[in-house]
Structure 1
Amino acid sequence: MHRPWRLFSSQFYLFSPVSISNWANSMLRMKTEMNKKPLAVKIFLYVALISLSLTLLLPLASLVLTSFKTFDESVGVYRWIPNQFNFNNYRDVFALEGFNYWGYLRNTLTIFVLKAIGTVLTCTLTAYGLVRFNVKYRNLIFTVLLSVILLPGELLAIPMYQLYLSVGWFDTYYPLFTACFFGTDVFMIFMFRQFFMSIPKELFEAAETDGASEFKIYSRILLPLSRPAIMTCLILYFTGTYNDLYGPLIYISSHDKWTMAQGIKSIEDIFNLGPRDYIVPWNLVSAATLLSLIPVLLVFGFAQKQFMDSMARTGIKG
């Protein structure tokens, strides 16, 4: 039987940072190429895109329909449409003993805010230095930074766990956001660097002529102009924090500190009949997952324009 967090992760892949970033870049390239195609080719491409979109939306449709099924339907032979739509699942989720939706949401948002502050501050400063200062071996430094992306996160999991355990940070939020204050997100550094390179150099030269310091140029000129890139960073980190089950499972054990992902995973224990014999209430898991998706969809919906603008400008210069 599949684990609940696998269902949870599969539904959230549609809104993960990698998925959203790849989708945005693909749509921008396709829009440019589409204007050059004959009508017949355009029709074929639109039909193919619609078919692909429907295929990608099937997991989300399955999630929604399962959230309205009864317990027996959700654990029995799979069928798309429930015999009777059970709206009580959403009420039952909030009534589950030990399931604190608002507490999980608060904890997740707390981690997100701390990670976002650290990432925006350090990654923009790092990208600013790579763009503004013509130091020796600048391109080599940037290449080495990019190569860090090739390192799998699991490679550092055990050393980092031992480090945080030795300083007494187990069962705290510190392991989940501390690294963000040291400019460790290479992808965000790359994104901000590409965005900064699209800003005309004349703006910086004019500010220098007026006697502005580097910090003033950074804070008064660069950051306001980088609002689309910052919004993109916030969106990606918001969805990433929501989707993160691996980190909280390792470092967080207290129930009152659980994140949304941990809370949804915990629903499997409700019908636990033993170490090897248990039944997962997929109807309640689906309802809880759908409820947790609402903040992500709202954030991405309201900030979609800034996200697309940033992705468009990021690829202008290399």
Structure 2
Amino acid sequence: MESASRAWGAVGYWCGIGATALALSGCTTVTQKLFPDPDPVKAEAFYHQGSRYSTGAGVEQDYGLALQSYRDAARYGSVPGAYMVGMTFYTGRGAGVDYTEARRWLLRAAKHDYARAQYQLGRLYIDGKGGNKDAAWGVRWLGMAAYQGHARAQFAYGIAWSQGIGLPVDKVQALSWVLRADKQGLEQAAEVTRALQKRIAPSDRERAKRRAQAALVAKGAYNNRPTLLFVQQRLTEKGYQPGPIDGVMGAKTRAALATFQQDAGVASHGEIDEITLNQLRDLYFWEPLLN
């Protein structure tokens, strides 16, 4: 695990996108899932107000007021607003560093498929900051972001496959994900790509290239490959026999999952749901979003 920790240190930086870039990107999705009565107009207004305070665009720069504005944006249903609150606690800019609060707010955005939040949340779980340490669950979040095209998540996901961080070692998978990050111009990816290519056979290099060129399909919260990989990994660790850890819901995986559900005293249907995921993570409570 020491070598895995050193490898993870190689990607120990957060995906630096400033408030201005977020504002210009138009990433101000509002969802009714966050609040029963969201207000898209207020959410947008508070989000852009937070961006202005954060960057000093037309107002005196004030990270504290930026945090307050982002909170208000999230209160009215802004997923990027929740992400920015989480990142404020992650970095300590505008508030003291508080990884527990960062994890809670990032989880809120990550559960609504916000790739930047998924990447940061994954790192917190892998590092054990702000709560329990769970590499497999953290890598699941990295995978969710990677499948959405997040370059740093793709790079980190490749490192995880290469070093066996929360996943079985698979150099072909590792190279394919690092190649995706390299194609997007991520600086560290080129050097790691060359190193991985030296370690595997030419035929495996070709397999990795083909995988890197294939289209990515991001599915729902449970029916996706990163989540299936987590389930298979955790079932294997707990002594069940789901078959190969390949991210495919085959007959063996479904049977092993149904047996685990029965043993855990939850509905035994062989399907993945949030209750089953909590049981697999040894959580016997609902992970809080906000009080």
| TM class, shorter-length | under 0.3
Higher relative contact order structure (alpha carbons within 8 Å, sequence separation ≥ 6): 1
TM-score, length of structure 2 as denominator length: 0.25
Which of the pair has more CA radius of gyration?
A: 1
